[in-house]
Structure 1
Amino acid sequence: MKNKQLISPQRYQIQSLLQVGTSKKKIAELVNTSVSTVYREIVRNKSKRGYTAAYAQEECDLRKERYKGKRRLTPEMERAIKKQLTTDQWSPQQICGRAKIQGLPMVSHERIYQLIRKDKADGGTLWKHTRHKLKHRKRPLNGKQISIKNKLSIELRPAVVDKKERCGDWEIDTIIGKEGKGAILTLTERKTGFLLMEKLVSGKQAVPLSKVAVRLLYPYKETVHTITSDNGSEFAEHEFIAKKLKANFYFAHPYSSWERGLNEYTNGLIRQYIRKGTDFNLYTDEFIKQVQNKINRRPREKLCFQTPSKIFYASLF
């Protein structure tokens, strides 16, 4: 039975398919929903610059909140919220989820966004601590495709990887510095969201990158099953990585960022600490490691607001 109510990953899939000119009928088929649902989703959640998944999801959340009624924001709650936003760099969703499992009273995440917007209007700086600065990111299409030999398509990847029921399936990516100079390698485990990251001294050069990837994953070699990347030339040495770790390395389809949605999400978290357009030479290796640890210790909704670090290490045994 096809889904009538869309979820966030499906919205990002719709956005990406619209960007490459896919028909609404084909989108419905790929997203496993009806054509009428796709039409309604686009019309209902279209912003001034077209359909974006982030805006659509926020509109959906807003509609849900209208049925929950108003909750009172107490001074104690406000102090706790401001501390978690500014000191811990938590999102409104993380603040609410963590309070729920701890049995603490808390307003909805949308109410927290209202607090942030009001604070900004009054000249405050809480908005600077949100991942997207209260704006929706524009997700550009990938650039020119690079020919990489002996690639394994994601279509050949075992179905168990999609279920995220086992630990050891990783997504690999790079974050690029100012003017395309400098890069940071990220490796994210799909089930837990556990992150490994390191600044690349040689930028996006494939050979040095492959050695860093192997070194970062080697301590977990016995439980590394698969690695998935985009089609960037920096992953040309995928066979070396696969051989050293005795794992299978797969490549996503071009223009299909939703197939590596965890990468997109994780890179967004990293950008809270390492701003877009900055020179990576300004950051020490120690700082990069601190960012990694902070992200791994942030509660996640999909983990019932436990931390990636805790769930990852528990999954190894």
Structure 2
Amino acid sequence: MFYKRRKRKKRMSGMMNHLRWKLEEKTVLPISLRPKYIEERNEIGQLEIDSIIGKKHETAAIISIVDRCSRMIWLIKVKYPNYYYTLNKIRKFIEENKITIKSITVDNGLEFKTLGITVKRLYVKIYKCNSYCSFQSGTNKRENAIARWFILKGKSMSNICFKIASMTRQIFEVKKTSQHYFFFLNRF
């Protein structure tokens, strides 16, 4: 009897499958549906967001926002890495600094659980990486490694962002990240 009931439930849920994926209405999509032109890194506004968390019992964290094209990095210090607090901090930071956004790539961290609500206001799509696939947001992972070189106790966050942006990069033919970012910003 239990077996029959279980089978019946499964069949009934299958009847609603056609309503699950309406891609035009979704704001949070899997990374496999990300368009190929984002991979080419030809335009500013394709962002990757990740968090840098310190020691195990430490409550503070750093949210890093990286532009895929220019590798420009913005760091936000967050007191509590829960999703509601992080959501408000990211939204305020983007609105205050007027960062151009066309799409956002995010990993599966709990702090980005409700980021889709904020992005719906900005009319942007979020692409979520698969679990245990850190290579899908490789730009951000590399920039986080560079940021960890500079993060010491008692250091100012804005100073760190400036130091990272003023580093020369071989990928940009020995130009600075900030020069590359403003070149693309003025081009469009």
Q: Normalising by the residue count of structure 2, what TM-score does the alignment of the two structures yield?
A: 0.78
Superposition deviation, residue 176 in structure 1 = 0.5
Structure 2 gap ranges (5+): 1-25
Superposition deviation, residue 198 in structure 1 = 1.4
Q: Which residue of 2 aligns with 1:190?
A: 68
Q: How does 1:67-86 map to 2 (within 5 A)?
A: none
Q: Which residue of 2 aligns with 1:292?
A: 161
* Cα pair 2:107 2:129 within 8 Å, conserved: yes
Q: Which residue of 2 aligns with 1:237?
A: 114
Superposition deviation, residue 308 in structure 1 = 1.3
Rounded to whole Å, the distance in 2 between the matches of 1:260 and 1:158 is 14
Superposition deviation, residue 150 in structure 1 = 7.3
Q: How does 1:68-217 map to 2 (within 5 A)?
A: 151-181=28-58, 182-202=60-80, 204-217=81-94
* Cα pair 2:27 2:125 within 8 Å, conserved: no
Q: Which residue of 1 aligns with 2:9?
A: none
Q: Which residue of 1 aligns with 2:22?
A: none
Rounded to whole Å, the distance in 2 between the matches of 1:248 and 1:162 is 15
Aligned-partner SS, 1:199 = strand
1:254 aligns with 2:131: yes
Higher helix proportion (structure 1 or 2): 1
Report runs of 4+ in structure 1 exceeding 3 Å deviation: none
Q: Normalising by the residue count of structure 1, what TM-score does the alignment of the two structures yield?
A: 0.48
Superposition deviation, residue 247 in structure 1 = 1.3
Q: Which residue of 2 aligns with 1:31?
A: none
Percent identity over the alignment is 26
Q: Which residue of 1 aligns with 2:154?
A: 283
Alpha-carbon RMSD: 1.8
**Count of aligned positions:** 159
Structure 1 gap ranges (5+): 1-148, 276-281
Rounded to whole Å, the distance in 2 between the matches of 1:227 and 1:184 is 17
Higher strand proportion (structure 1 or 2): 2
